[in-house]
Amino acid sequence: MAKPKKRYVCQACGSVATRWQGQCGECQEWNSLVEDAPATVFSQKHDLSSGGRLIALEGMEETGEAPERIGTGLAEFDRALGGGLVVGSAILMGGDPGIGKSTLLLQAAANIAKSGRGAVYISGEEAPAQVRMRARRLGVADAPVRLASATNARDILTTLGQGEPPALIVIDSIQTMFSDQIEGAPGTVSQVRGCAFELIRFAKECGSALVLVGHVTKDGNIAGPRVLEHMVDVVLAFEGERSHQYRILRGLKNRFGPVDEIGVFAMGAEGLAEIANPSSLFLSGREEPVAGSAVFPAIEGTRPVLVEIQALVVRLQSGATPRRAVVGWDGGRLAMLLAVLESRCGLNFSSAEVYLNVAGGYRLADPAADLAVVAALVSALADRPLAARATWFGEVSLAGEIRPVAHTSMRLREAAKLGFDRAHGPPADEAATIKGVSYDALDLLPKLVDRIMGG
């Protein structure tokens, strides 16, 4: 029999190479290739076309059953899940260390346990005493959550297999789990994939909701190996700046409901508090307008949120390469908008440092933010504050056109509710129907620049 070939798997993107290399050929990550268990070599005669059991093929008619869901006792968490945890499903929750994943899941586990359904919390990172200490801090120490500190997937599955399967199983984190059936250290692609596969199969068979906590790589991808995202039903990202109190739980994938829904929390001394009305959370609240600040009515999932975008432009005297730094937005997109402003509007940013910040530690995903970013940049460059009660939204094309975006009326209604009586955006018929906002329809970027520069 042929000797199985060695294979090397990139821990960042999961691609396979036959030789070790310093850099992954697929995703260009450095030092990410790790030797993996060899692929099974099938014999030539291996044939799958007979000898199996027959499976039932069914029609597509509705059976009328919506998936059964369990509430987490946290409306914001349920919202991000698309209406609660689906029975027998697997959820992957990613986020930076210290952002609050363990805290959120312990709170949810406590609520579910208190409601009389079983909840098991398995930590591969902390001892039960540490988890208990956190529970005390959260004021949920009396909840009948069952804790364990374990990393061996076989032990965990054997234990879970005894008695009534719990409604919720939390595995914190999947990177710390290992299976004695698989070669390699915990955290390698084959270990993570193998353990996740077994845990997910258990959850599907027993009707438990399984939450896997996943670590995030440097570039913000959930759980390092992307393979996990394909295996689970729901992927959630827990975002925020550690130095700010606000946290956003965002649905990135959902087999049972809408994606892009967000849940908003504030981290406090007693854990995560829900923010039911986040609308004005990310506004600075100052009365006097300052140059470089623009308000953007964002839509996250089905929910409007007003966000302040701040820009700072610093002219450099020397010929040093100017810096561009972005917090809460896409750096590539900023570079593109600066290039559009230079080539379509004749503005010069090439000898200036440009800083862009989304207030409150918020991370913007809505593509309609372009116009607000441009307004903030032009205002900062010209050192002219924008009108205090104005909002800006729209997508900007490479040609310098301002393109229509979705949800115009929802954005305007929310802005009006919070006292913003002026809005600038792409031409939109619905805009005229919103009371209390005077709408300035703009089709080309130079017109916007004239508005700001002209006062």
Q: What is the CA radius of gyration of the chain?
A: 26
By a kind-dependent CB cut-off of 5 to 8 A, residue 132 interacts, out of ligand TYD, Mg ion, none, with none
Instruction: Give yes or no for a contact between 395 and 368, defined as CB atoms under 8 angstroms apart.
Output: yes
> Which one, of 349, 356, 340, 430, lies nearest residue 382 by Cα?
349
Q: Least separation, in Å, of the C-beta of 125 and Mg ion?
A: 6
Closer residue to ligand TYD, CB minimum distance, 135 or 390: 135
Q: Least separation, in Å, of the C-beta of 134 and ligand TYD?
A: 5
Report the alpha-carbon distance of residue 320 to residue 418 in Å, rounded. Answer: 43
Closer residue to Mg ion, CB minimum distance, 125 or 421: 125
Q: How many residues does the chain have?
A: 455
Closer residue to ligand TYD, CB minimum distance, 349 or 362: 362
Confirm whether residue 99 is marked as ligand binding.
Answer: yes
DSSP state of 288: S
Q: Least separation, in Å, of the C-beta of 237 and ligand TYD?
A: 12
At residue 2, what are phi and psi to the nearest 5 degrees?
-65, 145
* Helix (H), strand (E), coil (C) string for 54-108: CCCCCCCCCCCCCCCEECCCCHHHHHHCCCCEECCCEEEEEECCCCCHHHHHHHH
Size, binding site for Mg ion by CB under 5 A: 1
Q: Least separation, in Å, of the C-beta of 273 and ligand TYD?
A: 10
By a kind-dependent CB cut-off of 5 to 8 A, residue 269 interacts, out of Mg ion, ligand TYD, none, with ligand TYD
Query: Which residues lie below 8 Å from residue 413, measured CB to CB, with a gap of 6+?
Result: 304, 434
Confirm whether residue 165 is marked as ligand binding.
Answer: no
Q: Least separation, in Å, of the C-beta of 267 and ligand TYD?
A: 5
Contact region with Mg ion (CB under 5 A), list: 35-43, 102-110, 286-294, 390-398: 102-110
Closer residue to Mg ion, CB minimum distance, 213 or 423: 213
Confirm whether residue 97 is marked as ligand binding.
Answer: yes
- Applying CB under 6 A, the residues found at the interface with ligand TYD are 95, 97-103, 134, 137-138, 267, 269-271
Tell whether residue 102 is a contact of Mg ion (CB under 5 A).
yes
Q: Least separation, in Å, of the C-beta of 136 and ligand TYD?
A: 10
> Which one, of 370, 246, 400, 257, lies nearest residue 309 by Cα?
370
Confirm whether residue 128 is marked as ligand binding.
Answer: no
Confirm whether residue 98 is marked as ligand binding.
Answer: yes
Decide: helix, strand or coil at residue 403.
Answer: strand
The Cα-based distances of 264 to 88, 112, 216, 419 in angstroms read 25, 20, 20, 22
Q: Which two tokens stand for residue 184?
A: 């390699």
Closer residue to Mg ion, CB minimum distance, 102 or 191: 102
Q: Which amino acids are annotated as binding site, given as ranges?
A: 95-102
Q: Which amino acids are annotated as binding site for ATP, given as ranges?
A: 95-102
Residues that bind Mg ion (CB under 5 A): 102
